[in-house]
């Protein structure tokens, strides 16, 4: 009965527009008091969850992403991608997917990726006569690579909540992320031929190498992060710290779209974003502690057992639930609400948590493109100054492609689990 009241109260609070961290922390406190536990224990739970080396990486990755978004990195990566695409129809759209893929490996944020790349490419694509729905849809879909290709903030949060290896999760997203990019490019090539999109001028040799030299500082960030982690030189938190430092230096010394006067405002923006994320994480972990102590997770596990669901049947149900949640809640909120409930179940059914993490993130990619809360939709609407209906029309084909990819990943777990198993078993 108490659980039902809490669920109803949570839905009412969300519909009323109460921030999710206030809803979760308030309901956690209410449940704590109803159980007759001393209030000091509630504060102790918060402080216990703060004692996490992995959690330290969150603000540092946010700082790196914010500086990369504002510091001129996007233009350098777009020029690099354009030098490789060459003279072909729809080249700017292919450049978009390539640039968002590389930027994703720097920022770890889908919204930051869509915003940074979109601010440069939307006007360029409009000038070249691309349909506005196709342009915004391509950039919005390409931006979702930011939470799949490592480093990924969503993967990091999932690793904290599920108590799983973040390096393994990062590796698990590589092959699905590349596969998604390839699928998008195949669709773009087909669309460009069908709609006779304009050809792009071919770069001469000097411009080709100039684009590569200019992009080198930006490419330092993923090299430092991923190379440092998988060589064993640095931990996740240390790699995040290095990425923040390099992002600041690259933005200030090489691209110079920002100056020293912009550093403090950008840091303040990063701290604000981090504070919201950290408080939501702590609230969700405390709420998950109550769920476990109250036997809720055991009840759900028993319900799955009684329903005699197999692993693949449960994954189908989980995908449907995540899709619905993603339509109304932003990515981190879904992760923090859903994961604590299902982690015991996936262990019981023998589902690899690394595989489930990739399934979850692809669902969240789709959520970023589905109304009413798809954040990438509103980012692109603002940049392109076009009705939301145009953006939704443009992302439609990409949602279909991502859903097909989700089905493939769900039923062929080796696509996501092979690379982390190969790397770590080899070591």
Tell me: the pLDDT tens digits for 82-93?
777 767 778 888
What is the pLDDT averaged over residues 360-384? 82
How do residues 249-273 score in pLDDT, each as one tens digit?
Answer: 888 888 877 888 888 888 888 888 7
Asked if 173 contacts 155 with a C-beta cutoff of 8 angstroms, the reply is: yes
Give the residue among 244, 328, 340 at the shortest CA–CA distance from 291.
Answer: 340
Give the pLDDT score at 52: 66
CA distance 271 to 66: 10
> Whats the size of the chain, residue-wise?
427
Which range among 7-16, 171-180, 231-240 shows the weakest confidence by mean pLDDT? Answer: 7-16
How do residues 409-424 score in pLDDT, each as one tens digit?
Answer: 999 999 999 999 998 8
DSSP letter string, 364-404? HHHHTTSTTT-HHHHHHHHHHT--HHHHHHHHHHHHHHHHH
CA distance 319 to 365: 12
Higher pLDDT, 383 or 404: 404
Give the pLDDT score at 124: 81
The upper half-sphere exposure of residue 143, i.e. CA atoms within 13 Å in the direction of its Cβ, equals 32
Share of the chain above pLDDT 70, in %: 84
How do residues 157-167 score in pLDDT, each as one tens digit?
Answer: 899 888 888 88
Give the pLDDT score at 14: 66
CA distance 280 to 290: 15
CA distance 225 to 68: 14
Query: Does residue 147 surpass a pLDDT of 60?
Result: yes
Give the residue among 130, 119, 111 at the shortest CA–CA distance from 73.
Answer: 119
Which range among 89-93, 110-114, 347-351 shows the weakest confidence by mean pLDDT? Answer: 110-114
Asked if 68 contacts 221 with a C-beta cutoff of 8 angstroms, the reply is: yes
Give the pLDDT score at 102: 78
Query: Does residue 4 surpass a pLDDT of 70?
Result: no
What is the pLDDT averaged over residues 56-74? 78
Query: Does residue 288 surpass a pLDDT of 70?
Result: no
Domain boundaries, the chain: 53-426
Strand partners, 199: 89
Asked if 102 contacts 85 with a C-beta cutoff of 8 angstroms, the reply is: no
How do residues 327-347 score in pLDDT, each as one tens digit?
Answer: 777 777 788 778 888 888 898
φ, ψ for residue 89 (rounded to 5)?
A: -70, 140
Query: Does residue 41 surpass a pLDDT of 70?
Result: no
Q: Left, alpha or beta for 295 (phi > 0: left; psi -120 to 50: alpha)?
A: left
Residue with tokens 């391509």: 138
- 95 Cβ neighbours under 8 A, 6+ residues apart: 78, 81, 82, 85, 121
- C-alpha distances in Å from residue 245, one per residue of 105, 180, 224, 235: 16, 30, 11, 15
Give the pLDDT score at 295: 65
What is the pLDDT averaged over residues 110-120? 77
Higher pLDDT, 55 or 196: 196
The mean pLDDT of the chain is 81
Q: What one-character DSSP code corresponds to residue 412?
A: -
Q: How are the residues of the chain apportioned to helix, strand and coil, as percentages rounded to the nearest 5?
A: 80, 0, 15
Question: Dihedral, CA atoms, 278, 283, 288, 291, nearest 10 degrees?
Answer: 180
Higher pLDDT, 2 or 397: 397
How do residues 217-255 score in pLDDT, each as one tens digit?
Answer: 877 777 777 777 777 788 878 888 888 888 888 888 888
Q: How many CB atoms lie within 10 A of CB 310?
A: 10
Residue 344, Cβ density class (10 Å: 0-12 exposed, 13-18 middle, ≥19 buried): middle
For 199, the 3-state DSSP assignment is strand
CA distance 398 to 415: 20
Higher pLDDT, 130 or 333: 130
What is the pLDDT averaged over residues 350-371? 90
Give the pLDDT score at 108: 66
What is the pLDDT averaged over residues 400-406? 94
Calculate the CA 85 to chain-centre distance. 26
CA distance 300 to 279: 26
Query: Does residue 297 surpass a pLDDT of 80?
Result: no
Most confident of 219-223, 319-323, 328-332, 357-361: 357-361
Which range among 42-51, 168-177, 257-266, 269-278 shows the weakest confidence by mean pLDDT? Answer: 42-51
φ, ψ for residue 125 (rounded to 5)?
A: -70, -35
Give the pLDDT score at 420: 92
- 232 Cβ neighbours under 8 A, 6+ residues apart: none
Give the residue among 285, 305, 320, 319 at the shortest CA–CA distance from 350.
Answer: 305
């Amino acid at each position: 009965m108490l659980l039902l009241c809490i669920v109803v109260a949570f839905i009412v609070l969300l519909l009323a527009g109460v921030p999710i961290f206030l809803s979760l922390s308030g309901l956690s406190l209410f449940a704590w008091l109803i159980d007759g536990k001393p209030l000091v224990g509630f504060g102790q739970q918060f402080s216990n969850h703060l004692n996490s080396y992995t959690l330290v990486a969150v603000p540092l990755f946010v700082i790196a992403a914010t500086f990369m978004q504002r510091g001129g990195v996007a233009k350098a990566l777009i020029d690099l991608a354009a030098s490789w695409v060459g003279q072909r129809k729809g080249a700017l759209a292919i450049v978009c997917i390539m640039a968002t893929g590389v930027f994703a490996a720097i920022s770890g944020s889908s919204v930051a990726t869509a915003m940074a790349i979109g601010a440069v490419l939307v006007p360029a694509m409009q000038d070249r006569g691309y349909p506005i729905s196709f342009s915004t849809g391509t950039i919005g879909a390409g931006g979702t690579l930011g939470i799949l290709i490592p480093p990924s903030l969503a993967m990091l949060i999932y690793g904290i909540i599920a108590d799983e290896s973040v390096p393994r999760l990062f590796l698990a997203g590589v092959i699905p992320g590349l596969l998604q990019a390839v699928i998008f490019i195949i669709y773009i090539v087909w669309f460009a031929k069908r709609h006779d999109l304009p050809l792009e001028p071919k770069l001469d040799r000097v411009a080709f190498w100039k684009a590569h030299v200019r992009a080198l500082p930006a490419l330092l960030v993923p090299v430092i992060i991923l190379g440092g982690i998988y060589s064993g030189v640095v931990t996740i938190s240390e790699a995040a710290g290095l990425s923040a430092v390099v992002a600041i230096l690259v933005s200030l010394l090489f691209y110079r779209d920002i100056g020293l006067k912009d550093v403090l405002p950008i840091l303040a923006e990063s701290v604000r974003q981090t504070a919201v994320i950290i408080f939501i994480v702590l609230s969700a972990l405390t709420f998950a502690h109550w769920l476990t102590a109250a036997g809720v997770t055991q009840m759900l596990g028993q319900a799955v057992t009684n329903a005699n669901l197999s692993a693949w049947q449960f994954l189908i149900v989980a995908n449907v639930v995540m899709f619905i949640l993603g339509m109304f809640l932003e990515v981190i909120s879904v992760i923090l609400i859903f994961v604590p409930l299902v982690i015991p179940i996936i262990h019981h059914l023998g589902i690899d948590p690394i595989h489930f993490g990739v399934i979850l993130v692809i669902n969240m990619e789709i959520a970023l493109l589905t109304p009413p809360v798809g954040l990438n939709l509103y980012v692109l609407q603002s940049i392109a100054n076009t009705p939301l209906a145009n953006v939704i029309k443009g992302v439609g084909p990409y949602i279909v492609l991502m859903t097909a990819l989700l089905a493939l990943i769900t039923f062929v777990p080796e696509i996501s689990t092979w690379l982390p198993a190969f790397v770590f078993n080899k070591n």
